[in-house]
Amino acid sequence: MNDTYKDLLSPYTFPNGTQLKNRILMAPMTNFSSNPDGTVTEDEVNYYARRSKGVSMVITACTFVTPNGKGFHGEFAGDRDEMIPSLKQLATAIKEQGAKAILQIFHGGRMCPTELVPNGEIVSASEVAATNSTNIPRALTESEIEEIIHAFGETTRRAIEAGFDGVEIHGANGYLLQQFFSPHSNRREDRYGGSLEKRMTFPLAIVDEVKKAVETHADSSFIVGYRFSPEEAETPGITMKETLALVDRLADKDLTYLHVSLNEFFSLPRRGVEDLSKTRIDYILEAINNRVPLIGVGSIYTAEDAKKALSSGVALIALGRELIIDPDWVQKVAEGKKDEIMTKLHKDKQEELVVPDPLWNAIVNTPGWFPIA
């Protein structure tokens, strides 16, 4: 192994004592490849197994916690106990290759396609359509909100029973938790909306509920992470300043890690902070102030990219698209073969890369999403 990259391959121990074999993990990515009944397919299991050997941890695509939270075609389900055997297949396939298996749990809110949710009725914090959508959601009642909070705890219990090593609460990318935090989508005037503090109520209640489920059903080694997006383009919308306030609260929640969702690791803030030339990662690390580990992500392809990202002060690096392009990324770095790492997708390599048809078709038919050779 080249000493230049030894930090990437050094073990890491979370505050709860759980150890990872290196600093590289697989980022959560939707793969559109589950069965219509919400069970995982063999293709999906093989896809994860192919990418679980080198990395220390795999965060799965999101699973929905209630029927009206299904956000994608071909998304696997975590909303009922009948799904535990299906979830177990996934956890087992990842763990057998030596990686920790983390189930990402979520509710799509107003981003759900109407054809995927009961009666075609989408729900959110308020009756505000998403940008570029004409679908106006129905505002959730307080009792429905409480049911969804409870459902996050129940899906966590299912993850534990299925053998997962942890869960990641999906509070990013415009889905329901972010919809409650955002002044764009949350115009409520009850305890779940209004002030910045009240807009944090729902996501923080979910954190508490998930942790309660872990205390009841798992031991202290079980991982609980939280993923967030730093800003929104809309006005009104989440600003960097508001996110730093949320991060400050999350950092005191005794979570195993925080995970920022970024397209570009070193991207700069849009607004809400004084110095717009300082990276979002730098701002977030300052707000955390060593209270909880941060996972960074975003357009990291080469070993050099990852080394530079790790030197920013994040604890761990998540690779998304790059692990689809080259599932052997970590092994190549470990064997001193970094120059053999593929950083562009070869359209004739689907079989070798073990990518299910629905995901492959989405990749090759979405211009600009992946670098294509």
Q: What is the DSSP string of 55-113?
A: SSEEEEEEEESSGGG--STTPPB-SSGGGHHHHHHHHHHHHHTT-EEEEEEE--GGGS-
Q: What is the pTM of this model?
A: 0.98
> What pLDDT does 4 receive?
87
pLDDT digit string (tens) for 39-57? 999 999 999 999 999 999 9
Q: How confident is the model at residue 3 (pLDDT cuts 50, 70, 90)?
A: confident
Q: Tell me the average pLDDT across 123-150.
A: 97
Assigned domain for 373 exists: no
* pLDDT at residue 1 is higher than 70: no
Number of residues that this document lists for the chain: 373
Cβ contact 227:60 at 8 Å: no
Assigned domain for 55 exists: yes
Domain that holds residue 9: 3-364
- 226 is a catalytic site residue: no
Picking from 77, 140, 141, the residue whose alpha carbon sits closest to that of residue 110 is 140
Please list the alpha-helical segments (H only) found in 218-356: 240-251, 280-288, 303-310, 321-325, 329-334, 350-353
* pLDDT at residue 133 is higher than 80: yes
Picking from 226, 278, 272, the residue whose alpha carbon sits closest to that of residue 252 is 226
Catalytic residue among 47, 175, 226, 301: 175
pLDDT digit string (tens) for 199-213? 999 999 999 999 999
* pLDDT at residue 149 is higher than 80: yes
Assigned domain for 293 exists: yes
pLDDT digit string (tens) for 48-94? 999 999 999 999 999 999 999 999 999 999 999 999 999 999 999 99
> What pLDDT does 20 receive?
98
Assigned domain for 170 exists: yes
Assigned domain for 121 exists: yes
Q: Tell me the average pLDDT across 327-347.
A: 97
Mean of the per-residue pLDDT values of the chain: 97
* pLDDT at residue 2 is higher than 90: no
Number of domains in the chain: 1
Q: Give the integer Cα–Cα distance in Å for 333 and 1.
A: 7
Cβ contact 258:290 at 8 Å: no
Assigned domain for 371 exists: no
pLDDT digit string (tens) for 238-293? 999 999 999 999 999 999 999 999 999 999 999 999 999 999 999 999 999 999 99
For the domain that residue 87 is a member of, what is the CATH number? Answer: 3.20.20.70
> Please, how many CA atoms are within 13 Å of residue 146, restricted to the half-sphere of its CB?
4
260: enclosing H helix or E strand: strand 257-260
Cβ contact 167:102 at 8 Å: yes
> What pLDDT does 339 receive?
96
Assigned domain for 370 exists: no
